[in-house]
Every structure is written in C-alpha cells, then in structure tokens.
C-alpha cells in the first residue's frame, strides 16, 4: 500500500498504543468489524489511491460514513503517537538553509 512492511507495523503498533492509553469510545459499544491492522490498511488505501470513501466502503463491505470515521480516527491516533508527524514550516525552512 505504498509503505514498507516495517513502517506499516510501526503504524499499527502506534495506533494500538494510543488506543490502549486513551479512554476512547471505541472500547464501548459493539466490536468493530475491522481489526486495527485492517483500519490502518483502509487509511493507507485512502491516502495512496485517492479513492472515495464510497469505493473503499464497497470493497470492504462497509458504509461510506464508517470508512470516513475509520480514516479520521486512524489519522488522529497516528498524529497523537508523535511518530508520524511532519515537521512544521519553520523547521523545514531552517533545514533548507543548512
């Protein structure tokens, strides 16, 4: 899906650790239909292929709104982990000057 297996594994570990640390609503209610590994795959599919939520949902047999929630939740958790955050504009400009 556009990333190395090692990077994918690190993404999955990061999402699992953020989810375990938080009192997220995902611990309540029915069990999710997709595992965390599959949720990360759905997110990568969205980022890499520029497909609509509808088309991804059709492949995974989920609704468009469910895919949207999965992608948004996974993105948020990856950012919260701190392992997949891009540097800010100032840091990038300072690197360019060096």
- Residue 35's pLDDT is 94
- Residue 98's pLDDT is 62
**How far is the C-alpha of 87 from the C-alpha of 28, rounded, in Å?**
34
3-state class (DSSP) for residue 79: helix
Q: What is the pLDDT of residues 45-95, one digit of tens each?
A: 999 998 999 999 999 999 999 999 999 999 999 988 877 766 677 776 777
- Residue 24's pLDDT is 56
Residues in the chain, how many? 98
CA distances from 58 to 14, 16, 74 (A): 27, 26, 19
| Cβ contact 42:70 at 8 Å | yes
């Amino acid at each position: 899906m556009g990333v190395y297996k090692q990077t994918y594994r690190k993404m999955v570990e990061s999402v699992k650790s953020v989810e375990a640390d938080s009192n997220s609503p995902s611990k309540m209610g029915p069990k999710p239909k997709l595992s965390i590994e599959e949720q990360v795959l759905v997110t990568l599919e969205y980022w890499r292929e520029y497909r609509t939520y509808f088309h991804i949902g059709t492949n995974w047999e989920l609704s468009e709104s469910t895919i949207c929630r999965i992608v948004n939740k996974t993105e948020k958790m990856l950012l919260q982990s701190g392992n997949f955050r891009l540097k800010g504009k100032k840091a990038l400009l300072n690197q360019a000057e060096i």
